[in-house]
Structure 1
C-alpha cells in the first residue's frame, strides 16, 4: 500500500526533524552559555 508507506515515511521524517531540533537547541544553549561565561569573565 503506497499510502501506508508514505505515512510511515512522513512519520519518520517528522521524528528526524524533532531530533534535529533538539540537537540544534542543545548546541545553541551550549554556545550561549559559553558567550555568557566569556562576558562574565570580562
Structure 2
C-alpha cells in the first residue's frame, strides 16, 4: 500500500513541476512578444 501511495505522490509532484515549467515558458513567451511589439510600435 505504501509503495503505491509513494509512486502516486512522485507522479503528482512531477506533474506539478512540469505544469509550473510550462506556465513559466508561456509567461516568458508572452513577455518576449509584448516587448517585441512595444519596440515595433514606435517604428
Interval of TM-score (by shorter of Structure 1 and Structure 2): 0.7 to 0.9
Where structure 2 has 5 or more consecutive residues not aligned to the other structure, the ranges are none
Query: Structure 1 or 2: larger helix share?
Result: 1
User: 2:10, 2:39 → 1: CA distance?
Assistant: 43
Count of aligned positions: 42
2:34 — aligned with what? 34
Residue of structure 1 in register with 2:17 after alignment: 17
CA RMSD, aligned part only? 1.0
